[in-house]
């Protein structure tokens, strides 16, 4: 493995409470675009992208790897570290986990950047275990994780479906009606239902009012594609869709952003119906393809999606350090 000359390599650590300045955001975005072009998958999740743009919770860190490029410094490696809340360092809370994501520019890989980023992440997160995402399940990421003693603990599948293939009709369960989400009205009840539906989910179940407000204020948000199912004037499920705009030669793609059903309403097929409602909506927008993410070990959800014509196209992997 070749290494970047030490004199030209620098690692900066910035507090994540504030978003990066405009110049750094632009530099990180160039890095992400190059990585996605090379790898065929996004290097960071949506939560990290929001943190880059508008700031994050206390305890978060931006790790910026820069290398000399003539007379200027270019960001060639980036990591986001989300540490447990301050005060979680006692013996009782020692197993509270940190999380991280890392990306290295394709032209600067195999030069020690990945090792430098991860070693810093592991050192700064101690004594807490840390979970690190590797988007796309690339052999290089797997080898790096093994070299630093990280264990493979979670898989997230990306599945896709051709929307030009006919969809089943929608048949709502008795007593259920569906309407669009109303910003400024539905947030409290949706947050409570989402927390119940995803009580065991490490990311979705933790969404709070600030997270929701950031998403509903995002350029891509469309309330007409955010469906709420109600029974007796009480929300019992939802399907939030998303549209990814065209990117270069790639056409726009719809996404089953998240489907949730209140635990008290599960078992009656509402999740499948809500999924179909969103798929019909995305097809009617003229989109030709739809994607979604599902936990690799969530067999019931995978079976629903497979029966609706979805197939796996890639896998994101999460690695975990030992406590």
Pick the range with the lowest mean pLDDT from 40-54, 231-245, 272-286. 40-54
- Evaluated on CA atoms 265, 271, 274, 276, the torsion sign reads negative
Q: Are 25 and 76 contacting, i.e. CB atoms less than 8 angstroms apart? A: no
Q: Report the candidate in 61, 54, 69 with the shortest Cα–Cα distance to residue 117.
A: 61
Q: What is the DSSP secondary structure assignment for residue 247, as one 8-state letter? A: B
Separation of first and last alpha carbons in the chain: 29
Q: What is the DSSP secondary structure assignment for residue 92, as one 8-state letter? A: T
Distances (CA, A) of 172 to 6, 228, 304: 63, 13, 16
**Quick one: CATH architecture of 160-315?**
3-Layer(aba) Sandwich (3.40)
Taking the model in full, what pTM does it have?
0.82
Mean pLDDT value of segment 133-140: 89
Give CA 150 to chain center in angstroms. Answer: 20
Residue 87: its pLDDT value, please? 54
Q: Report the candidate in 186, 320, 197, 167 with the shortest Cα–Cα distance to residue 258.
A: 197
Residue 126: its pLDDT value, please? 85
The CA distance from 237 to 253, in Å, is: 24
Residue 4: its pLDDT value, please? 55
- The rounded percent of the chain whose pLDDT value lies above 70 is 92
What stretch(es) of the chain map to CATH 3.40.630.30? 6-149, 160-315
The residues, any chain, with a CB within 8 Å of residue 102's CB and separated by 6 or more, are 63, 77, 78, 79, 114, 117, 118, 121, 132
pLDDT single digits (tens) 297-321: 999 889 999 999 999 999 999 999 9
Q: What is the band of 89 on the pLDDT scale with cuts at 50, 70, 90?
A: very low
Residue 187: its pLDDT value, please? 97
**Quick one: CATH architecture of 6-149?**
3-Layer(aba) Sandwich (3.40)
Residue 74: its pLDDT value, please? 85
Residue 224 has pLDDT above 80, yes or no: yes
Mean pLDDT value of segment 220-248: 94
Residue 93 has pLDDT above 60, yes or no: no
Distances (CA, A) of 125 to 16, 28, 50, 192: 14, 23, 21, 31
């Amino acid at each position: 493995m070749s290494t970047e000359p030490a004199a030209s390599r620098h690692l900066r650590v910035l507090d994540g409470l504030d978003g990066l300045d405009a110049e750094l955001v632009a530099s990180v975005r160039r890095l992400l675009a190059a990585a996605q072009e090379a790898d065929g998958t996004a290097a960071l999740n949506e939560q990290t992208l929001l943190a880059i743009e508008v700031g994050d919770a206390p305890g978060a860190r931006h790790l910026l790897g820069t290398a000399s490029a003539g007379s200027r410094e270019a960001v060639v490696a980036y990591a986001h570290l989300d540490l447990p809340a301050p005060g979680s360092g006692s013996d009782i809370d020692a197993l509270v986990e940190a999380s991280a994501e890392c990306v290295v520019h394709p032209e600067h890989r195999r030069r020690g950047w990945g090792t430098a980023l991860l070693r810093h992440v592991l050192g700064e997160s101690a004594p807490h275990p840390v979970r690190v995402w590797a988007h796309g399940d690339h052999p290089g990421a797997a080898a790096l994780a093994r070299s630093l003693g990280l264990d493979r603990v979670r898989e997230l599948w990306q599945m896709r479906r051709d929307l030009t293939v006919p969809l089943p009709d929608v048949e709502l369960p008795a007593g259920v009606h569906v309407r669009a989400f109303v910003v400024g009205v539905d947030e409290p009840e949706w947050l409570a239902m989402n927390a119940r539906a995803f009580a065991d989910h490490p990311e979705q179940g933790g969404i709070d009012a600030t997270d929701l407000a950031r998403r509903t204020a995002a350029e891509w948000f469309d309330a007409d594609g955010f469906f709420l199912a109600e029974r007796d004037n009480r929300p019992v499920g939802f399907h939030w869709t998303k549209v990814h705009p065209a990117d270069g030669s790639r056409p726009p793609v719809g996404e089953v952003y998240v489907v949730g059903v209140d635990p008290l309403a599960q078992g009656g097929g509402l999740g499948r119906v809500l999924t179909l409602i969103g798929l019909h909506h995305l097809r009617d927008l003229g989109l030709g393809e739809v994607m979604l993410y599902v936990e690799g070990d969530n067999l019931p959800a995978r079976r629903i999606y497979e029966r609706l014509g979805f197939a796996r196209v890639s896998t994101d992997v999460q690695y975990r350090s030992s406590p």
